[in-house]
């Protein structure tokens, strides 16, 4: 197991694969059984609080030389066997431990006998023991760090660097207890008071603050392979910067700028940034964001407060909280620190409903386009029943560790799994709406308007993957897609389908009364498509679906911006709606001012979110052929950045296809 303890380990992909396959867990259990039978017994049978205390006593403390901050994980003692749906994709409230010491968080003796309170106190006891062990390990040699940890026990954080250390400590404990996709939250806003005070008092220079932030991000990048969830790079370590204040003005500070500059300088895919913007965001900040994206680092993702805050408040979230929104791992708005809304519980696959229609329906009954769409919506409703079922049946694991860092739990004396947080809604993502809209519009033209084909012909093509219909396939593949353009029919149809999902889901409630929301972005555009039939937009069976809100066949970026801005994201349709651009690096660099202006217009008109892949097809093709020449090439996948070389081939191929299309070079099987 020693290789796993070394954060500088080079063979990230191999280790990640072992983790995903469960091989590491098996190895660990064998190791514990032999070496730590007492912990093994606790781990397999006792409550999570007792196991946690024991873990804090036993886990190895790794101090890395010349590293400004303490951060370590010990894979052998990960608490990853609790039963039920794991909590992840969340951002804890780091301020809870910034504003007080551990011991002042305890419940008093009068709460004895209440299980949650007792477990909560045990978790604090475990953390105190670990802190004392760290102090002991520091051995008095590193005075500053020793003081930071001594103060964690009793007092609030005093300084900027100390506050960063506390954030890292909370973050470390959440990873150590097997939470996945742990977000960082509004780091610029959280740290700014410490920064201001330290600069004003002369405790720290601006340059030192910048160095601290740089080390903070580098430290977070450690254990990248372990933190990665389904794909390398999918760590969920997102910093949410900027925002809107109570008067509707834009708020940001020096740390906002510093953090973006550091991400640009470090050129690491993780951690990543989301920049909240509104119509008053200074053009200089937008330009800095675009310059950073232009380096190819894939970050920041732009998130529009003008649309998101009204959507959150209309959903019933008080404006005070809506103003503080962060996001889950990629893009789904989340009231960080106060919410355990799991925003990615499953995916609505819009294409599945269309496939079901063609397999199951008496197609001869469908005589016009309107009845086709109506029937599609009936099938979509049935699919949504399956989605609701997945959400309804989720049983969450008891989690007093997370409950310590989510507001509401301590006051209500309730665990996050039992409705302790202020918000516990459920979110689902969606995939293939663009493919469905294009398929339906093609059927309108070729079946109902011109009568060239029957619905039975369409069914045969879908199921036989266009066997003996190569000409039609080429025709459909090469024509301009309508989803993501200014075609009013495409917009109207998209809107109609989205509203139907709302109609079918708005009455849904989880066990604790949480509501269901959805959005038009999903990480499943490759996996969900693998067992799909061909579709009538010229997509072969098993080929990936369109990515988020995108259209590589459109000649103009403004067209997609206008399309996305015209969609209505209110009611429950706000669980992440990302425009995803492929942009040639030279093109972006040469048109930076125009892109900034376009972004400003998009923000005013009402786009929801936007992200970009800035890379050429040439670079991607070369990197696939000669990976050793491109060790640091970063691309944007799902809602995160990743090293191109560490992605599976189907992701590489898809990026190449998209880049080729975007450059007007058509498609090429790679």
Partner 1 sequence: MEENSVIIRKWLENQCDKKYWSDYLQTYHYSTIAIYGCGELGKYMARDLKDTPVKVSCFIDQKAEALRNVMGIPVLTLKDFLSRQNGTDAIIVSVLRADRDILEQVCREDEKMPVMSLRDMIYEL
Looking at the Cβ atoms of 11 and 464, the one nearer to partner 1 is 464
Answer for which of 29, 266, 314, 463 binds partner 1 (CB under 8 A) is 463
DSSP conformation class of 545: P
Answer for which of 6, 11, 104, 464 binds partner 1 (CB under 8 A) is 464
Instruction: Give the nearest distance from C-beta 386 to partner 1 in angstroms.
Output: 4
Q: Which of residues 33-92 bind partner 1 (CB under 8 A)?
A: none
Instruction: Give the nearest distance from C-beta 417 to partner 1 in angstroms.
Output: 21
Looking at the Cβ atoms of 166 and 352, the one nearer to partner 1 is 352
Size of interface with partner 1, in residues (CB under 8 A): 21
Answer for which of 393, 395, 450, 626 binds partner 1 (CB under 8 A) is 393
Instruction: Give the nearest distance from C-beta 460 to partner 1 in angstroms.
Output: 6
Q: Which of residues 520-539 bind partner 1 (CB under 8 A)?
A: 531
Tokens of 469: 């219909």
Please answer whether residues 97 and 405 qualify as being in contact, where contact means their C-beta atoms are separated by less than 8 angstroms.
Answer: yes
Backbone φ, ψ for residue 428 (5° rounding): -125, 155
Looking at the Cβ atoms of 413 and 540, the one nearer to partner 1 is 540
Backbone φ, ψ for residue 340 (5° rounding): -115, 35
What mask, x for binding partner 1 by CB under 8 A, covers residues 351 to 390?
-x---x--xxxxxx-----------------xx-xx--xx
Measured CA to CA, the distance from residue 517 to residue 571 in angstroms comes to 8
Instruction: Give the nearest distance from C-beta 534 to partner 1 in angstroms.
Output: 11
Looking at the Cβ atoms of 359 and 452, the one nearer to partner 1 is 359
Backbone φ, ψ for residue 276 (5° rounding): -75, 140
Measured CA to CA, the distance from residue 623 to residue 9 in angstroms comes to 23
Query: Could you tell me where the DSSP H helices lie in 274-349?
Result: 283-292, 305-314, 319-322
Looking at the Cβ atoms of 171 and 383, the one nearer to partner 1 is 383
> Which range of residues in 32-40, 323-331, 455-463, 522-530 is near partner 1 by CB under 8 A?
455-463
Please answer whether residues 325 and 622 qualify as being in contact, where contact means their C-beta atoms are separated by less than 8 angstroms.
Answer: no
Instruction: Give the nearest distance from C-beta 468 to partner 1 in angstroms.
Output: 12
Measured CA to CA, the distance from residue 322 to residue 343 in angstroms comes to 16
Looking at the Cβ atoms of 440 and 458, the one nearer to partner 1 is 458
Q: What are the distances in angstroms from CA 550 to CA 267, 394, 622, 653?
A: 25, 32, 24, 17
Answer for which of 129, 254, 280, 460 binds partner 1 (CB under 8 A) is 460
Measured CA to CA, the distance from residue 621 to residue 133 in angstroms comes to 50
Tokens of 340: 């355990």
Residue 8 half-sphere exposure toward CB, CA atoms < 13 A: 5
Taken as a whole, the chain contains a residue count of: 670
Q: Provide the pairing of β-strand 333-334 with 640-643.
A: unpaired
Closest C-alpha among 518, 561, 472 to residue 380: 518
Looking at the Cβ atoms of 178 and 457, the one nearer to partner 1 is 457
What mask, x for binding partner 1 by CB under 8 A, covers residues 480 to 509?
------------------------------
Looking at the Cβ atoms of 426 and 493, the one nearer to partner 1 is 426
Looking at the Cβ atoms of 352 and 658, the one nearer to partner 1 is 352
Instruction: Give the nearest distance from C-beta 132 to partner 1 in angstroms.
Output: 46
Instruction: Give the nearest distance from C-beta 536 to partner 1 in angstroms.
Output: 15
Backbone φ, ψ for residue 247 (5° rounding): -90, 5
Tokens of 498: 């989205």
Closest C-alpha among 520, 59, 133, 50 to residue 332: 520
Looking at the Cβ atoms of 95 and 459, the one nearer to partner 1 is 459
Residue found under tokens 């608490």: 79
Instruction: Give the nearest distance from C-beta 543 to partner 1 in angstroms.
Output: 16
Q: Which of residues 334-353 bind partner 1 (CB under 8 A)?
A: 352
Measured CA to CA, the distance from residue 537 to residue 522 in angstroms comes to 20
Contact positions vs partner 1 (CB under 8 A): 352, 356, 359-364, 382-383, 385-386, 389-390, 393, 456, 459-460, 463-464, 531
């Amino acid at each position: 197991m020693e290789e796993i303890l070394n954060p500088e380990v080079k063979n990230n992909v191999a280790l990640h694969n072992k983790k995903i396959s469960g091989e590491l867990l098996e190895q660990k259990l064998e190791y514990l059984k032999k070496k730590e039978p007492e912990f093994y017994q606790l781990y397999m049978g006792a409550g999570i609080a007792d196991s946690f205390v024991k873990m804090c006593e036993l886990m190895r403390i790794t101090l890395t030389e010349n590293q400004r901050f303490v951060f370590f994980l010990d894979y052998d003692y990960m608490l990853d066997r609790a039963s039920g749906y794991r909590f992840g994709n969340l951002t804890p409230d780091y301020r809870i431990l910034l504003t007080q010491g551990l011991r002042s968080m305890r419940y008093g003796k009068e709460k004895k006998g209440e299980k949650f309170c007792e477990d909560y106190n045990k978790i604090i006891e475990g953390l105190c023991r670990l802190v004392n062990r760290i102090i002991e390990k520091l051995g008095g040699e590193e005075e500053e760090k020793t003081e930071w940890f001594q103060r964690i026990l009793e007092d609030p954080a005093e300084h900027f660097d100390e506050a960063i250390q506390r954030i890292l400590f909370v973050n470390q404990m959440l990873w150590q207890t097997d939470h996945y996709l742990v977000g960082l939250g509004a780091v610029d806003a959280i740290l700014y008071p410490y920064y201001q005070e330290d600069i004003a008092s002369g405790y720290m220079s601006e340059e030192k603050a910048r160095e601290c932030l740089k080390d903070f991000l580098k430290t977070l990048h450690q254990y990248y392979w372990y933190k990665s969830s389904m794909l390398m790079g999918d760590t969920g370590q997102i910093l949410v910067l900027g925002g809107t204040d109570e008067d509707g003005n834009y708020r940001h500070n020096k740390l906002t700028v510093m953090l973006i500059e550091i991400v640009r300088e470090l050129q690491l895919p993780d951690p990543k940034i989301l920049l909240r913007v509104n119509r008053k965001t200074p053009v200089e900040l937008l330009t800095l964001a675009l310059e950073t994206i232009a380096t190819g680092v894939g970050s920041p993702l732009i998130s529009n407060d003008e649309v998101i805050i009204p959507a959150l408040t209309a959903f019933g979230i008080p404006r005070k909280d809506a103003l503080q929104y962060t996001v889950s791992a990629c893009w789904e708005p989340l009231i960080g620190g106060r919410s355990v809304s799991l925003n990615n519980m499953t995916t609505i696959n819009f294409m599945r409903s269309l496939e079901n229609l063609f397999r199951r329906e008496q197609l001869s009954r469908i005589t016009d386009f309107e009845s086709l769409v109506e029937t599609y919506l009936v099938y979509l409703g049935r699919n949504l029943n399956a989605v609701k079922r997945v959400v309804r049946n989720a049983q969450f694991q008891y989690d007093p560790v997370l409950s310590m860092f989510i507001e509401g739990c301590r006051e209500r004396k309730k665990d996050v799994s039992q409705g302790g947080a202020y918000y516990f809604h459920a979110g689902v993502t969606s995939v293939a709406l663009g493919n469905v809209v294009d398929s339906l519009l093609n059927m309108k033209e070729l079946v109902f308007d011109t009568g060239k084909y029957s619905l039975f012909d369409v069914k045969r093509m879908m199921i036989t993957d266009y066997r003996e219909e190569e000409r039609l396939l080429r025709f459909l593949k090469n024509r301009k897609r309508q989803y993501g353009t200014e075609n009013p029919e495409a917009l109207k149809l998209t809107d109609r389908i989205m509203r139907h999902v709302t109609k079918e889901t708005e009455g849904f409630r989880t066990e604790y009364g949480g509501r269901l929301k959805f959005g038009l972005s999903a990480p499943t555009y490759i996996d969900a498509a693998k067992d799909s039939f061909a579709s009538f937009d010229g997509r072969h069976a098993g080929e990936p679906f369109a990515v988020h809100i995108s259209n590589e066949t459109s000649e103009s970026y403004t067209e997609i911006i206008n399309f996305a801005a015209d969609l209505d994201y209110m009611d429950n349709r706000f669980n992440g709606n990302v425009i995803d651009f492929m942009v040639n690096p030279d093109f972006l660099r040469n048109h930076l001012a125009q892109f900034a202006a376009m972004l400003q217009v998009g923000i005013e008109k009402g786009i929801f979110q936007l992200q970009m892949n800035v890379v050429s097809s040439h670079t991607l093709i070369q990197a696939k052929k000669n990976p050793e020449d491109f060790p640091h090439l970063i691309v944007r996948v799902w809602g995160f950045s990743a090293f191109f070389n560490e992605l599976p081939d189907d992701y590489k191929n898809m990026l190449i296809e998209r880049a080729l299309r975007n450059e007007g070079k058509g498609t090429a099987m790679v």
